[in-house]
Amino acid sequence: MGYYVEKPRGKIADVLGRNQRQPVVLVGVGHLGSALLAYKESEKESFEIAAGFDVDTKRHWRKTFSQPIYRLDKLEQYVRQRGIKMGIITVPPAAAQDVANRLIAAGVTAILNFAPVVLRVPRNIVVSSVNLAIELENLGYFRSLAEG
């Protein structure tokens, strides 16, 4: 006796967007952006970084990427033409709000923000910010608890 789980599993995957690969754009191909572009585990996930954008596309990166790297002035056109809804920001703090505004104006509704700033966005935009300093502080705190 049991339950048929395939149909509910499929519905949950649909809701979470895991049945179809979701394209994402990355803005800021510096050290962190380069590492994210080169991250091969994303191929096993439900998202793919489709392209990177940077102010300096003539830079010589230590890594080679399977994704194209475009000038920042191509961002809005690229996002609109492909209907991309998610973006990653890995730019310096001073540029993050402008990049967020440009992504939103182009149609992005979800942003993963690595810049150490609080982005001001409309209510219908989802932002998840990653602050490495805070994450390391949390890690240190929980390590000290575990060590007693």
Average pLDDT for the chain = 87
Output the six-digit token pair for 45.
């996930």
Greater model confidence, 17 or 63:
63
Lowest-confidence region among 18-22, 111-115, 143-147: 18-22
Report the percentage of the chain scoring pLDDT > 90.
63
Residue type at position 16: L
pLDDT, position 16: 53
DSSP of 58-119: T---SS--SS-EEEGGGHHHHHHHHT--EEEE-S-HHHHHHHHHHHHHHT--EEEE-SSS--
The residue ranking higher by pLDDT, 63 or 69, is: 69
Predicted local confidence at residue 24, as pLDDT: 97
Q: Sketch the domain layout of the chain as residue ranges.
A: 20-147
What's the CATH code, domain 20-147?
3.40.50.720
Angstrom distance (rounded) from CA 25 to CA 89: 9
The CA distance from 47 to 30, in Å, is: 21
pLDDT tens digits, one per residue of 50-63: 999 999 877 776 77
